[in-house]
Amino acid sequence: MNDLLPIILISFLLIESILLLSWNRIYFRFGIPIFVKRIPFLGSLDEPFDAQYLEDNFEGVYVPNIFFRKIGSKECAFREKLCNFKIFSYIPVMRGLIRGDDGKKALCIIGYVNWYVVFFAMFALGSAIFYSIPSWTPMLILVALFYVTQAIRFKNIADVAFEWLKKNR
């Protein structure tokens, strides 16, 4: 079983990379949300964002670029550029979705956890419990720091998207 774990992890990484790179709509629309920001908006939520405008605002000098892609009339997926090493690089722990929610009259920014992170957490916990592997605490702290970094960036995306919405409605 121990020989299979690296193969399983690499398989998760490859499948997830393919889904990210292909902008798979189902992958970007569903998952385990670990970041949610709702911004009330009473105006029109038809085409609630401009993907190019957002992308231009998140070309990172020190941090990885963020790419945006419309996947529906009221939805825009986003993710960090893969293999984009900058001064302050990190491993993304989530992918994002901007959604205009007419029912709740809100602009929603959702961060879904990447599946390899879930697998890694289960692996680390299982290793610590069943095999007495040395503590994974430093690695888990690093993942938490990556999450905080991304959460700050996702909040900034929400602010920029909302500003664009206010100016264009």
Closest residue by Cα to residue 95 from 10, 23, 15, 14: 23
Question: How many domains would you assign to the chain?
Answer: 1
Provide the residue range defining the domain that includes 61. Answer: 4-167
Section 7-12 average pLDDT: 81
Burial 52-76 (b: 16+ CB within 10 A, else e): ebbbebbebeebbebbbebbeebbb
Section 148-154 average pLDDT: 94
The most confident of the ranges 74-78, 122-126, 127-131 is: 74-78
So what's the pLDDT on residue 162? 86
Q: Which two tokens stand for residue 96?
A: 């994002």
The answer to whether 108 and 36 have CB atoms below 8 angstroms apart is: yes
For residue 84, pLDDT over 80 is answered with no
So what's the pLDDT on residue 85? 62
So what's the pLDDT on residue 169? 65
